[in-house]
Amino acid sequence: MDLNFTKEQENFQIEVRSFLSDNLEPQVVEKVKNGIPITKEDSERWHQKLNEKGWLAGTWPKQYGGQEWDVVEKFIFEEECGSAGAPRIVPFGVGMLAPVLMKFGSQEQRDYWLPRMLTGEDWWCQGYSEPGSGSDLASLKTSAVRDGDHYIVNGQKTWTTFAQHANMIFCLVRTSTEGKPQEGISFILIDMNSPGIEVRPIITLDGSHEVNEIFFSDVKVPAKNLVGEENKGWTYAKYLLTHERTGNANVAVSKRKIQKLKKLADDAKKNEQPLSNDPMFASRLAQIEIDLQNLEITNLRTLASVENGEAPGAESSIIKILGSEIEQDIDNLTRKSLGKRAFVNEPDALSSGYNGAEVVPKAAAYASGKYFNHRKKSIYAGSNEIQKNIISKLMLNL
Amino acid sequence: MDFKPSPERQILFDTLKKYFEKEYSLSDRNIAAHSDLGYSKKAWEAMRDLGILESLIDPELDGFGGTALDISTVFEALGRGLVVEPFLEVGILAAKVLSKGNDVQKSLVKKILKNECLPILAHSETDTEYSKSFVETKLSVEADGSYKISGAKRMIKHAAEATHFLVTCRNTGDASSEAGISIACIPTDREGIKIDSFATIDGGRVSDLTFSNVSISSEELVGELGMSYSIVSDAIDTGILAICSEALGIMERIKELTLEYLKTRKQFGVPIGKFQAIQHRMAQLLVEIEQARSSVINATIYFDDETEKEKTISAAKFSIGKIGTLVAEESIQLHGGMGMTWEYDLGHYAKRLVLIDHEFGDEDFHLQKYISL
């Protein structure tokens, strides 16, 4: 057993840390650390900084502008970003579509789309879920019918994160109704500015706008935008989902949030004592800390097995369940720790245009909002029930 | 990074696992565990021949192991086998204490390895007080410089067969103070010792001990007078690591038994493991067991780190207590009526797993301790 990073890995960690401290914008970090949503422009500026350093897509091959990071380097980078309060890299292009194009796309597609992800010319979103196809994704109905050099797309996608920012969407569409549902799905890239596309916002219970519905009415898509072969899209989608489900441990982010929560509890009073001295509160907090400490080791065990050449299987499902539940537990306790202040909902309180009353403590601006917003964590990226199905099938062989 | 055990430890684990599967039948174990002796002398001797005790003891005392990883590896295997013989009491608690003693006491460790003695640590005094420093048994200094001890010890496992007791006692300080604790190593036939033994729910026998003006000489103290808390504390911490690892082995075996049952037991024409209500409970158990394993790995990693040791030990004991009870209760539920029978293996594993939470501090005790550190 050897839990230490190698000398090279340690040096890399130091390099990442110093890059972050030199390049992160304090006002953006303050938003992130107080759980407040950042703007599209905040993300774009951060992406650009990372791209100048060559770290926007660190796991990519060098020929496409990446660093060929292995799982441990990726882990180190993400953990350092998490601790520092860096904005999360918007994953749809560099983290999700790119691996699919590299494995299944044509050379022409790679040469055209990959550089544009790095420069930020394209902002991608993901067209998977439909009103009737959530966990049962393979039942999707949005159709693409070949018509000469084009496909004609009709149907509806939903829960599309950041569709309001995106100029491109990668979609799963039905190109055949023969055979099993999985066998008639294709993977296609669609310009969001095409005639016939309408984006409608879905406002979530916390009042924020992250997700959208998209309606497709006779949308003309060039046939060269098909990725791989027609009707093989399910294979590509599954490949993408394995990328989506890694990196869900969020240990560093959760650690940072616990530190923040401790500070809040030191400053809050209950029975004329700091809330942190309250035995009920201390017990809840300690249990979360221990769960997180255990998850950190569980996550490292998975990383080590990948580093040593074993394929990550349903372990990523274990991590997804634990990572989402622990983060939800922290958000829950943060909300509780604010007492009556938890009624406040001023998510713009840290934005430049805000001219309302100052919210103290700052974390109260969106703590309850964040708590409700993060109920999504056990629902998205394959609900935790779906993760249990995967564990049952792949690990328990039931 | 690499979480795999070294090849030597993997071989040791595999050898023990195979041995228990072939030679340590649960039905024989249950008869011995609930007999008047509480374990099988024959099994004890056969297992000693495998070198299990040596693997728990430092090379300088004729062993060939004794590191946190060795102990964790061996006890996980012992847990899988549901071994009731006194490896924890003799190989860990007594041997750890004696290894800090004088030459005569150290030589007792070597005698343990030759099966010439069976020393037992007599420390715990009240049923619900888990603090490592809680000692009320009185040590008084006589006019001639010799000592006498008086007091009572409770729930001392495998004490009835012991050759020596390692009795914690105090000459100064409050009941929970770390200063003032001494340890006396005395033969069990010394005058003034009374032993009352009981059967247990999970196998093995326990005893309440009474010491009435028992005479001891100064050479029989382990360590300095009043300065032996750290010796007891270290032995108990090692014991916690051992039983947390034992619990892991038990959980893995319970997982296997339960999965096998879910795949073979049919209702409504299909194996019950096809039902999603069952699958999700089982998947949750797997997630929890992986977390339990991580907690023990964490405690093993920091076992020799003075600043992190106590915190990671308490985190592990808390995790094992919480998850162990869950795994025991859920596995019985998933087995239906079969889980309720004496004849089937599962219940015996479940009993031991639950009762491990009552040893060296339960989940509440260790959560409070974690918070205080």
Best probe of the A interface among B274, B290, B300, B367, by most A CBs < 10 A, is B290
* Domain B7-113 of CATH type 1.10.540.10: yes
Decide if A4 and B1 are in contact by the 8 Å CB cutoff: yes
Q: Which of helix, strand or coil describes residue A229?
A: coil
Asked if the Cβ–Cβ distance from A290 to B1 is below 8 Å, we say no
Residue A319 lies in a domain: yes
Residues A294 and A223 in one domain: no
Range of the domain at A342: 246-395
Residue linked to tokens 């221990």: A290
Q: Which of A305, A396, A397 to mutate to test the interface with B (most CBs of B within 10 A)?
A: A396
From A190's Cα to the closest Cα of chain B, the distance in A is 37
Other C-beta atoms closer than 10 Å to the C-beta of A154 total: 17
| Domain end point (choices A41, A64, A89) | A89
Residue of A nearest to B299 (CA): A294
Residue among A283, A308, A387 minimizing CB distance to B2: A308
Does A109 map to a domain? Answer: no
Residue A222 near residue A150 (C-beta atoms within 8 A):
yes
Residue A378 sits in the same domain as residue A257? yes
**Quick check: A27 pLDDT over 90?**
yes
CB of A394 within 8 Å of any CB in chain B?
no
Q: For residues A151 and A199, state if they share a domain.
A: yes
pLDDT tens, per residue, chain B with 373 residues: 788 888 989 999 999 999 999 999 999 999 999 999 999 999 999 998 899 999 999 999 999 999 999 999 999 999 999 999 999 999 999 999 999 999 999 999 999 999 999 999 999 998 888 999 999 999 999 888 899 999 999 999 999 999 999 999 999 999 999 999 999 999 999 999 999 999 999 999 999 999 999 999 999 999 999 999 999 999 999 999 999 999 999 999 999 999 999 999 999 999 999 999 999 999 999 999 999 999 999 999 999 999 999 999 999 999 999 999 999 999 999 999 999 999 999 999 999 999 999 999 999 999 999 999 9
CA–CA gap between residue A154 and residue A151 (Å, rounded): 10
ipTM: 0.89
Does residue A372 sit in the same domain as residue A331? Answer: yes
Whether A125 contacts A161, CB under 8 Å: yes
Same domain membership, residue A280 and residue A233: no
Distance from CA of A31 to the nearest CA of B (A): 30
C-alpha closest to that of A31 among A351, A353, A361: A351
What DSSP line would sit under B117-177, residue for residue? --EEEE---SSS---TT----EEEE-TTS-EEEEEEEEEEET-TT-SEEEEEEESSS-TT-
Query: Under an 8 A CB cutoff, do A290 and B295 touch?
Result: yes
* Cα gap B173→A246, rounded to integer Å: 55
- Do A234 and A276 share a domain, yes or no? no
Helices (H) and strands (E) in chain A, counts: 12, 10
Contact A300 B292 (CB under 8 A): no
- CATH (domain of A41): 1.10.540.10
> Is the CB of B273 less than 8 angstroms away from the CB of A290?
no
DSSP state of A140: -
Residue A314 shares a structural domain with residue A376: yes
Q: Is A200 on the interface with B (CB under 8 A)?
A: no
Residue B367 to residue A287, Cβ atoms within 8 A: yes
Asked if the Cβ–Cβ distance from B276 to A389 is below 8 Å, we say yes
A1, part of any domain: no
Exposure of B94 in the CB half-sphere (CA atoms within 13 A): 33
> For residue A345, what are the CA distances in angstroms to A112, A329, A362, B95?
43, 20, 11, 61
- Contact assignment for A283 to B371 by CB distance below 8 Å: yes
pLDDT in tens, B248-284: 999 999 999 999 999 999 999 999 999 999 999 999 9
Locate B298 and state its tokens: 């964490």
Give per-residue pLDDT as tens, A41-67: 999 999 999 999 999 999 999 999 999
Same-domain pairing of A74 and A191: no
Are A23 and A58 in a shared domain?
yes
pLDDT in tens, A142-197: 999 999 999 999 999 999 999 999 999 999 999 999 999 999 999 999 999 999 99
A315–chain B nearest CA distance, Å: 9
Q: Could you confirm whether domain B230-372 is CATH 1.10.3470.10? A: no
List b or e across B256-280, with b for residues whose CB sees 16 or more CB atoms inside 10 angstroms. ebbbebbeeeeeeeeebbbeeebbb
- Domain residue spans of chain B: 7-113, 119-228, 230-372
Q: Answer yes or no: do A386 and A291 share one domain.
A: yes
Domain annotation covers residue A326: yes
> Is 70 exceeded by the pLDDT of residue A244?
no
**Structural domain total, chain A:** 3
Chain B residues touching chain A at CB-CB below 8 Å: 1-6, 69, 259, 262-263, 271, 273-274, 276, 278-280, 282-284, 286-287, 290-295, 297-298, 300-301, 312, 315, 318-319, 367-368, 370-371
**Residue A257 shares a structural domain with residue A236:** no
Domain assignment present for A105: no
pLDDT at A312: 66
CATH at residue A325: 1.20.140.10
Structure tokens of A195?
């005639």
Distance between CA A27 and CA A350 in Å, rounded?
8
In the numeric block, the tokens 């010890």 are attached to: B153
Same domain? A275 vs A236: no
A-B contacts at Cβ under 8 angstroms: 112
Distances (CA, A) of A264 to A260, A344, B136: 6, 16, 42
For position A353, what pLDDT does the model report?
86
Q: B119-228: which CATH architecture?
A: Beta Barrel (2.40)
Closest-CA distance, A365 to chain B, in angstroms, reads: 29
Q: For residue A97, is it within any domain?
A: no
User: For residue A249, what pLDDT band results from cuts at 50, 70 and 90?
Assistant: confident
Name the residue of chain A whose CA is nearest to B5's CA: A1
